[in-house]
Amino acid sequence: MRHLNKGRKFGLKRGPKKAFLKVLANNLVRHERIRTTEARAKEIRMFAERYVTYGKKQNLAGMKLLLKYLPKAAAYKVYHELAPRYADRKGGYTKIVKQAVARKHDGSKMVTIEFIK
């Protein structure tokens, strides 16, 4: 039974999965829009929205939390660009737009995840 085991596995163990999601979230922050599978987008949405919430605090603790989870350039971008953009918003900083065409070789549902303007 999977009691209290939430989240998707992606066929990886805990460490590689954590690194994989960290890279995806970093790419989303750097590019503000990425095209990926639906499962991946739903999983990294949690991370991306949490990072913006840390940045909205606009204090040293929030910046240190961002530096803990993101590379320096991405953390600064969240803190100085993305967080002020959503200062008056309570949540829901990202949106997932489904694509009409599935991925060719395995039929995975493709989506675009992006930060709301």
- CATH code of 36-115, in short, is 3.90.1030.10
96-113 tens-digit pLDDT: 999 999 999 999 999 999
Residues 13, 69: Cα–Cα separation, whole Å: 19
Q: Can you give the pLDDT at residue 35?
A: 97
55-89 tens-digit pLDDT: 999 999 999 999 999 999 999 999 999 999 999 99
Residues 31, 25: Cα–Cα separation, whole Å: 10
Residues 102, 37: Cα–Cα separation, whole Å: 9
Q: Can you give the pLDDT at residue 111?
A: 98
Domain residue extents for the chain: 36-115
Spatial CA neighbour of 29 closest among 62, 60, 69: 69
**Structure tokens that stand for 40 in this block:** 């991946």
Q: How far is CA 100 from the centre of its chain?
A: 22
- Has this prediction a pTM greater than 0.85? yes
Cα within 13 Å of Cα(104), Cβ side: 0
